Amino acid sequence: MVEISWNEGITWSAELETGYINIDGQHRTLFKLVSDLIELCQREEKIEINKTLMFLVNYATEHFADEEYIARIYKYPQFEKHKKMHEDFTKTVGVFVEHYERNGDSEVLSSVVNKLIISWIINHIRNEDSKIAEHIKKLERR
């Protein structure tokens, strides 16, 4: 079970593992970055929030590229849909980053991270990344 504390971020759980060490490691790093960001928001450390937020955005973009590369190699039939989800999420996060940069409201940022970003990441891993993993496993069993 994924441990979620809306005030303290998230903790990785084995139930979210796809079976691909590189991707699972990247997911664990995303969870850590999100948790760190929430902690910084609670302490209202603006400079560190900015650094962590930008690193999180860049890391997620790189992770999405790695994930999409794997999906392309294995000819995942829902590749375009999966890629669009990544693009939409990246745009949504970009809007919140801009809002935070303009307004600097760490409480609002923490709320958005908790309610939107954490939920999206967990649902995406459970509902989408797991499908890619199953697709690859089927191909490898042949």
Other CB atoms within 10 A of residue 112 CB? 20
Q: Per residue of the chain (142 residues), what is the pLDDT tens digit?
A: 444 444 455 677 888 898 888 888 888 888 888 888 888 888 888 888 888 888 888 888 999 999 999 999 999 999 999 999 999 999 988 888 888 888 888 888 888 887 788 888 889 999 999 999 999 989 988 7
Number of domains in the chain: 1
Residue ranges making up the domain that contains 10: 3-141
Q: What is the CATH number of the domain that holds 99?
A: 1.20.120.50
DSSP letters spanning 6-18: TTTEEE--GGG--
